[in-house]
Structure 1
């Protein structure tokens, strides 16, 4: 599933293509892609102007304006496992798994939602009243991501040390910190020299700061390389893959040498997924807690 860097790459591409453009049409080719909407997508979108492209964690949305009215709702997108938002000239052939097509009054490139597995979706949603009108209602409960101005490092330190769980479980908890998924959790933990099962209540404030620095660092580097693409399911709005998979230190590197010490990377089962770590740089907790 795309994580923060991949979604941010898409957001930046979308903003450069759709901000300020008025929607002329919305065609749904698969109902599951708009399953949560309360009306037809065309009725909800046509005649409205896209203001910008925004993101929190793994979610992105396009605030919508009708005439001179205040912005009160947005077209929200969750990419799921295989969703893609592509900007394509209207005359170009349809993609195999095209689910939604949105056209604009200027006749320029249209926005296409492609999703092989149909786990993702598009939803026109009101913006949340509380705690602010910055995000759509369905994701108002999600914590800020570590790149947002509203993310409070000190508050995060307090909350993660209270969790009494493994540190990787805490990093994946979207009510605590959003945008970090399996890939970047493993990479951040490797950089911070923390085992994924380290009890959160044993973390010092200094170690939490190192972990946040590591998470921001690895995701910034990934963003600079267009994100991580293991296959063609993740691409940017121009259909191009990211290249950060070549720079991963531990994720997916089972039995390969640790870039820091040369010890073979270990793979452990974790929450129906995998965790990758260096047995030497990231020793297991000794108190038996998992």
Structure 2
């Protein structure tokens, strides 16, 4: 199975003068998208015993995602209070001492042999102790398992940019696949163009650097010529969870092609990369066509997927 290690939380979204709680989190969204696409998937993140923890667990169970590796805790679920200013979302996090924030190495047991790939990223990489714990997990397993990382950088959540850039400088070379948006690349390397930044990351060790650009589609920078795939045209409700779903589509495609392994990614061809980017784009197009992070089920995907 593909193990997704990283944050889940509750987004408190404004609705009719009050707030509506919605389960979310970048890595959580990717896990659910993978499960809905029919891929064997596991999730690793502390889940609170509070009512919000139960709300987080339900969609995972419905998507067939294993939560056997999730430690349960009496610490509270992280809340992200969303406010809209001229249509732009701003977030206030209630995270100090939360279930996820306090993830420690002792909370993670041995990974079962069924784990064949590791996905990580999101804001779970930023604060400690959880950030250091996920870093240690990747360090312990990257030599054996293919690793995909999507930092999904949220500058408002980063209190020490230098420390986080240092963490990414350690993490990204341990990944086989790195996904970055143009905004991520600009934050990480403000002195470089997006192309230059992607190639600098590639030179540090990953085999594929995937750059996403919304309507501009996605491209893969790797040892060969750049491979591109267009975005799938659709009526956009919002873009919440689009990148997370794209990640799931890429991983699902690699798995279905039988190349989700260290050796498989090392020997990947342009056609295989294009197929992965295409499935990612097709899955993301379904998510953006409806409100919130609501990834497609396998039966909702285009026939080409």
**TM superposition score category, shorter chain reference:** under 0.3
Q: TM-score, normalised by structure 2?
A: 0.27
**Higher alpha-carbon Rg:** 1
More helix by share: 2
Q: TM-score, normalised by structure 1?
A: 0.27
